[in-house]
Amino acid sequence: MAAKSALQPLLKYLRVPVQPLSQNIFSISPHLFRRFSTEEVRGCFLDKSEVADRVISVVKNFEKVNPSKVNPNAHFQNDLGLDSLDSVEIVMALEEEFGFEIPDNEADKINSINLAVDFIASHPQAK
């Protein structure tokens, strides 16, 4: 903000020449203005079954988890016997696995494998 207020007096003297377009902007490329269908946008996200496999793998590799108890419907605290700190550590491991940061307000809601899969599969930054 300080930089913007310092530059404000100078900006009124800045002039940028603008050339009018010689042709209609819509005739340049109709693909620039194309709307994407739901199927095309959905293609940007990871496959839910792939996400489920990776989430289950992360949970099974967590040192305090008995791998035989892990299933897609497992709840971190009730089914796997983890405490809230363990749940936070699992969410952090999922962030590392999928390459993006899960906001704290969303991380607090992720308390089962299904919720983790749903959140990650619907997140555009998941890799």
**Catalytically annotated residues:** 83
Residue 72 CB partners (closer than 8 Å, separation 6+): 52, 56, 113, 114, 117
Instruction: Give long-range contacts, CB 8 A cutoff, 24+ apart: 74-78.
Output: 74/112, 74/113, 75/111, 75/112, 76/111, 76/112, 76/113, 77/111
CA angle 121, 124, 127 (to 5 degrees): 70
